Amino acid sequence: MGKRPTIADLSREAGVSVATVDRVLNGRLPVREQTAQRVLEAAQRIGFHAAGLISQRTRQELPEYRLGFLLLPEQRFYEEFARELDMAAAQSSRFRATALIDFATSLAPDEIVARLNALAARSRAVAIVAPDHPMLTAAVQALKDKGVPVFSLLSDFATGVREGYVGLDNRKVGRTAAWMIAKAARRPGKVALFVGSHRFHGHELREIGFRSYFREQAPEFALLDTLINLETKQITYETMLALLDRHPDLAGCYVAGGGMEGAIMAMREARPSGGPVLICNELLPESRAALAENIATMVISAPLPRLCRELIDLMGQAIQNGPGTVPGQTFLPFDISLPENI
């Protein structure tokens, strides 16, 4: 059995004096944040027995911020999103963060604005998922005037007013979905696209990317009029069944927002011979099962753990450094799941 690392071992590993390690361990005299962090990282590397105590001492010196998050109605995806936000807040190394999480019950602008304002009254910064609307832009401007930064998540809104956008490059997401349908379809035919609402800037960008790819690279496919499903399973299910019945030459379908469970239910029920290529968003139990059954061909997902860590770090920067100090857009690479890699 190896000898347990000592304080002298830790001081050498961290490149600081034994006295500095002692101050970090016992909370004596102020120690620079960067130095304390270096000691903590060294303790974790060498397995120092009091690494947990150092972590606790280090965090006690950090500023504490309450961060507000407004997500859409409690679907499975947003429940998972909330768990990742809680975890990222608890693990933040630059400050102590408390995540205040609320869920909208509808997409109505007045409800979203009311919940945003309620969160902002208790938070130093707020991040929300919401459709774009003039009422929301006005509310974000009012909060900005009060010094409360607001971030848009997954779908942008209030551009030029909000502090920053954190999510995917939605135009690329749409083009990727189109590329897969064009490559995987057995033959050219009709293609369907579902969006939650054109008020979602992200959905609109996905539609633009989707249609631009077919226009430029696969004009032999015929795109149907875009379908609005309000992010609901039931509307998607009923509409998908009608599409399969009305268009036997349906070659592909992309559900660009929520409601993909309905498309999967319809495909499973109808079992069309040589059925359309189905592209969904977010790897959840329903979409994972659809991939395994070859009902879905590809699932495009946001990397939630990384997104939440990046978001909370940016919110802290905006609080500490003031407005205009974080990127206006932060794009994260999206995950792609296929039947053979789940």
What per-residue confidence (pLDDT) applies to 22? Answer: 82
Q: Tell whether the model's pLDDT for residue 194 goes beyond 70.
A: yes
Average pLDDT score over the chain: 92
CA separation, residue 109 to residues 53, 59, 135 (Å) = 46, 38, 7
Give mean pLDDT, residues 17-45. Answer: 79
Q: Tell whether the model's pLDDT for residue 53 goes beyond 60.
A: yes
Return d(Cα 91, Cα 75) in angstroms, integer. Answer: 25
Which pair of tokens denotes residue 270? Answer: 């109808």
Which residues are CB-contacts of 81 (< 8 A; sequence separation ≥ 6)?
71, 304, 308
Give mean pLDDT, residues 148-169. Answer: 97
User: Would you say 161 and 144 are in contact if contact means Cβ atoms under 8 Å apart?
Assistant: yes
Q: Tell whether the model's pLDDT for residue 214 goes beyond 60.
A: yes
What per-residue confidence (pLDDT) applies to 168? Answer: 98
* 62 phi and psi angles, rounded to 5 deg: -85, 150
Residue-wise pLDDT for 267-322, tens only, equals: 999 988 778 999 999 999 999 999 999 999 999 999 999 999 999 999 999 999 98
Residue 248, H or E segment: none
Return d(Cα 212, Cα 221) in angstroms, integer. Answer: 12
Give the relative orientation of helices 51-60 and 33-46 as an angle to the nearest 10 degrees.
160
Residue 142 three-state SS: helix
User: Would you say 178 and 171 are in contact if contact means Cβ atoms under 8 Å apart?
Assistant: no
Return d(Cα 335, Cα 327) in angstroms, integer. Answer: 22
How many degrees, rounded to 5, is the angle at CA 202 between CA 207 and CA 222?
5
Q: In one letter, which amino acid is 302? A: A
Confidence of residue 94 (pLDDT cuts 50, 70, 90): confident
What per-residue confidence (pLDDT) applies to 29? Answer: 59
What per-residue confidence (pLDDT) applies to 50? Answer: 75
Q: Which residues pair with 281 in a beta bridge?
A: 300
Return d(Cα 93, Cα 27) in angstroms, integer. Answer: 18
- Strand locations in 63-131, DSSP E? 64-71, 96-103, 125-128
What per-residue confidence (pLDDT) applies to 2? Answer: 61
Give the relative orientation of helices 170-184 and 201-217 as an angle to the nearest 10 degrees.
40
| Four-residue CA torsion sign, 280, 336, 306, 286 | positive
Which pair of tokens denotes residue 56? Answer: 């606790």
Measured between its terminal Cα atoms, the distance across the chain in Å is: 40
Distance of CA 258 to the CA centre of its chain: 13
What per-residue confidence (pLDDT) applies to 1? Answer: 42
Q: Tell whether the model's pLDDT for residue 226 goes beyond 80.
A: yes
Q: Tell whether the model's pLDDT for residue 28 goes beyond 70.
A: no
Which residues are CB-contacts of 285 (< 8 A; sequence separation ≥ 6)?
76
If you ran DSSP here, which 8-state letter would residue 55 be given? Answer: H
